[in-house]
Amino acid sequence: MAPTTTAAADCEGARELLDLLQRVQSEALSALGPADFDPKLYVDLPLATSARAASDALAALPRPPSRAEMEAYVARHFGAAGSDLVTADPPDFAPEPPGFLPRVENREARAWALEVHALWKDLARRVAPAVAARPERHTLLPLPGGVVVPGSRFREVYYWDSYWVIRGLLVSKMYDTAKGIARNLVYLVEKYSFVLNGARSYYTNRSQPPLLSSMILEIYKATGDLDFVKRVFPSLLKEHSFWTSEVHNVAIMDKHGQVHNLCRYQAMWNKPRPESATIDEQLASKLNSEATKEKLYHQVASTAESGWDFSSRWMRDPSDMTTLATTYIIPMERDIAVFAKLLGENATSDKFLEASKARHIAIDSILWNSEMGQWLDYWISTDGNSQGVYQWKPDSHNRNIFASNFIPLWLNAHNSELVQFADEAKSITVMRSFQTSGLLRAAGIATSLSNTGQQWDFPNGWAPVQHLIAEGLLNSGSEEARVLAEDIATRWLRTNYAAYKTTGAMHEKYDVEACGKSGGGGEYKPQTGFGWSNGVVLSFLEEFGWPRDKEIGCL
């Protein structure tokens, strides 16, 4: 699905800048060397002079330029990365909001929770007026309201991160800020027909897991603001159309001859990702043909759309990044059915309820593996452009164990008032499978069991994964599952607390093998801040509390 005419014009206007910045990125790598080199820094630079002047000056540099020459060139023609965002105090922030975490009784735990709560002020920004005034000088996109950034190198809003940021803001009673974040994402839907991966011009070719409707649902549950739901509802329908369009839809015929529709991550891109172009080009250098390289670039960008960039989950050969192949998605129909019912649009509600049922049948028919008691990713043809009906094959399941194999339990639990695809007995089967999977470690849930050096693999644990699985267990109906969910939350909270006490920061990811150790691996250095980690900590503390006599540090 193509962006709107206005959005396409804006993208055209930004292309000249992005081409320039990618050339700067390449020259900077040759000047500075690969050690600690972050290619994203260079495509985040706001232009301080004209594009022509900057381009001519770049062409005049020696080849390769020295470090001093490169640094002088960047300082002369560009502003600092992130300088087109300005700090902004959220108007609804209070140092200790009324009703904040009443069940957190432990003094140390409560003091820490208040410090995590205070981090919203550190991460709050507004897009500088210059971005809207001179968009051709910025890869940052203008947004109508305040934002909360993840932190560190992530200087812009990200789509699926925002779900956990909003969950944390709701615990912090920052309802207006949470609504503002959601409105920014709605603005992107209205401009581009979908929520971008992030609010940068180089992200207009892909999205991320579609959690906007879930954000709206959480805001409604916390505030009861039906007018807010009514205003954003048309945008949810528009986003749903994007995810069910020919770009993302995939039809698979099961062993009984029934055709099911699922969605796959499929970026609209077959070039190096601008924010990681030098990395992608190096990865593709071992491939011989342009067609093969373009297929790899498409899969790399599609994996980035999944949010799990990168993991052996997407690799047919876990040791080889060039074997990426991506599919699977979180459905949205359940939320839309709820909102339509609330708004009195019964026909729309019935339509999406039926779509939700069909989606859940598809998940169970295509992804469920009864032998393992898990929902497995399904490998489809490596031809990412095929629009035919695929024939289901049992050997197309990815039988490796990943935390994502248990996330449908969260989808199931959130459909308790509509339709479920796992009853209590099946939920217990899934719980038992999880307990014996080897994923639950001393400090939380590992993303996979394979230590590949990729950041979405062992031994890393990520806040969204802990939250989705714990919340799925919590709401699945059994007391044993509730106890397991609290155990997961306890392990995660302790490692976050210990790392915070040691480093003074919240981290993007953690090493689940050791309490208090941040994670590593991947294509960039470990980051701090950190939006979704903060949100999950606050959400877990609200859900489970922390008794006065319970130790918060590592045991």
Give residue-wise pLDDT tens across range 463-495: 999 999 999 999 888 999 999 999 999 999 999
DSSP-based three-state secondary structure for 304: helix
Q: Kindly report the average pLDDT of the chain as a whole number.
A: 91
- Per-domain residue ranges of the chain: 1-81, 424-554
CB–CB of 472/406 below 8 Å?
yes
| pLDDT score, position 381 | 63
Region 304-323: mean pLDDT is 70
| pLDDT score, position 377 | 87
CB within 8 A of 112, min separation 6: which ones?
497, 500, 501, 552
In this predicted structure, the answer to whether residue 6 has a pLDDT above a threshold of 60 is no
CB–CB of 160/462 below 8 Å?
no
Q: How many CA atoms lie within 13 A of 271 on its CB side?
A: 8
Token pair in block for residue 360:
């859940």
CB within 8 A of 35, min separation 6: which ones?
none
Distance (Å, rounded) from C-alpha 200 to C-alpha 196?
Answer: 8
b/e sequence 503-524, b meaning 16+ C-beta within 10 Å: eebbbbbbbbbbbbbbbebbbb
Please list the alpha-helical segments (H only) found in 195-276. Answer: 212-223, 226-243
DSSP 8-state class, residue 378: B
- Bridge partners (DSSP) of residue 440 are 445
Give residue-wise pLDDT tens across range 443-465: 999 999 999 999 999 999 999 99
Region 306-313: mean pLDDT is 77
Distance (Å, rounded) from C-alpha 40 to C-alpha 196?
Answer: 17
Phi/psi at 253 (nearest 5 deg)? -90, 125
CB–CB of 264/382 below 8 Å?
no
pLDDT band at 394 (very low <50, low <70, confident <90, very high): confident
DSSP-based three-state secondary structure for 473: helix
CB–CB of 141/201 below 8 Å?
yes
pLDDT band at 285 (very low <50, low <70, confident <90, very high): very high
Distance (Å, rounded) from C-alpha 159 to C-alpha 336?
Answer: 18
pLDDT band at 118 (very low <50, low <70, confident <90, very high): very high
360 residue type, one letter: H
Q: Which residues are catalytic?
A: 309, 508
Only one residue has tokens 């070039």, namely 271
Token pair in block for residue 393:
């094959």
Distance (Å, rounded) from C-alpha 496 to C-alpha 509?
Answer: 9
DSSP 8-state class, residue 47: B
Token pair in block for residue 417:
């008032």
Phi/psi at 389 (nearest 5 deg)? -95, 125
In this predicted structure, the answer to whether residue 7 has a pLDDT above a threshold of 60 is no
What HEC string does 140-192 produce? ECCCCCCEECCECCECCCECCHHHHHHHHHHHCCCHHHHHHHHHHHHHHHHHH
Q: How many CA atoms lie within 13 A of 208 on its CB side?
A: 20
Please list the alpha-helical segments (H only) found in 36-174. Answer: 40-43, 51-60, 67-77, 107-123, 129-133, 161-171
| pLDDT score, position 2 | 46
Region 92-118: mean pLDDT is 98
b/e sequence 138-155, b meaning 16+ C-beta within 10 Å: bbbbbbebbbbbbbbbbb
pLDDT band at 420 (very low <50, low <70, confident <90, very high): low
Max Cα-Cα span within the chain: 70
Token pair in block for residue 313:
């989950």
- In the chain, % of residues over pLDDT 90: 76
Q: What is the pTM of this model?
A: 0.94
| pLDDT score, position 308 | 81
DSSP-based three-state secondary structure for 260: strand
The least confident of 51-60, 209-218, 518-527 is 518-527
Region 238-265: mean pLDDT is 92
In this predicted structure, the answer to whether residue 332 has a pLDDT above a threshold of 80 is no
The least confident of 158-162, 368-372, 376-380 is 376-380
pLDDT band at 3 (very low <50, low <70, confident <90, very high): very low
In sequence order, what DSSP letters do the residues of 313-355 get, joined into one string? GGBSSTT-GGGB--------HHHHHHHHHHTT-HHHHHHHHHH
Cα Rg of the chain, angstroms: 23
Query: From the CB of residue 425, how many other CB atoms can be counted at a distance below 10 Å?
Result: 9
pLDDT band at 398 (very low <50, low <70, confident <90, very high): confident
CB–CB of 441/460 below 8 Å?
no
The least confident of 108-122, 296-310, 532-546 is 296-310
